[in-house]
Structure 1
Amino acid sequence: MAEKTLVIQNPTGIHARPAAMLVNKAQAFASKITLEKDGKQADAKSILGVMAMAVNQGSTVTIRAEGSDADQAVAELAAFLEQLQY
């Protein structure tokens, strides 16, 4: 299992467009990937799950992945969220 915790810097958080992009990137990996915020978890491959998390600027989120490409999945998704500017 791999995981990384980060604070969302994007002024609008993870709204519709970034959520769709995140889900698209997550679906490229074989690993099971979850996004956690305030003790609640969502499947990072589900647009409804990610949107339901209501991630705003300043929110602390943890990306977790379990599977054959878990390390790569966490690294790439974390990098995407850290560079998010929408």
Structure 2
Amino acid sequence: MVSFTYIIKDKFGIHARPGLLLVQEAGKLTSNITIFKGTDSGDAKRMFCVMNLAVKQGDQITVHVEGENEEADAEVMREFLKNNL
């Protein structure tokens, strides 16, 4: 398993549009991807789970990536977050 943290910079946090883009990006990957905000967590491939975390600007999230391609998939998620959130 590969894990990394990221602080959300988008002034609206993970709202509908970037949330959908995140789910679509995660859906392209073969690894299981889980996003944690504090003690709450959600499957990054499911929109309801991502939106239920209610991630705001300045919140720190932890992303866990687990699977055969976890290193490459984690890098894809890092780049996505850096460029979109």
Separation (CA, whole Å) in 2 of partners of 1:79 and 1:46: 19
C-alpha deviations, 1:15-59, integer Å up to 9, x for none? 000010000000111111100001111000000000000010000
Separation (CA, whole Å) in 2 of partners of 1:24 and 1:30: 12
Separation (CA, whole Å) in 1 of partners of 2:82 and 2:5: 11
Deviating above 4 A after TM superposition, structure 1's stretches of 4 or more consecutive aligned residues are none
Once the two structures are TM-superposed, the CA of residue 65 in structure 1 deviates from its matched residue by 0.8
CA RMSD of aligned residues (A): 1.0
Partner of 1:7: 7
Partner of 1:83: 83
Partner of 1:40: 40
Give percent identity, aligned residues only. Answer: 35
Separation (CA, whole Å) in 2 of partners of 1:37 and 1:62: 7
Separation (CA, whole Å) in 2 of partners of 1:62 and 1:17: 20
Q: Give 5+ residue unaligned stretches, structure 2.
A: none
Amino acid at match of 1:13: G
Once the two structures are TM-superposed, the CA of residue 5 in structure 1 deviates from its matched residue by 0.3
Once the two structures are TM-superposed, the CA of residue 77 in structure 1 deviates from its matched residue by 1.2
Q: Give 5+ residue unaligned stretches, structure 1.
A: none
Q: How many residues align?
A: 85
Amino acid at match of 2:82: E
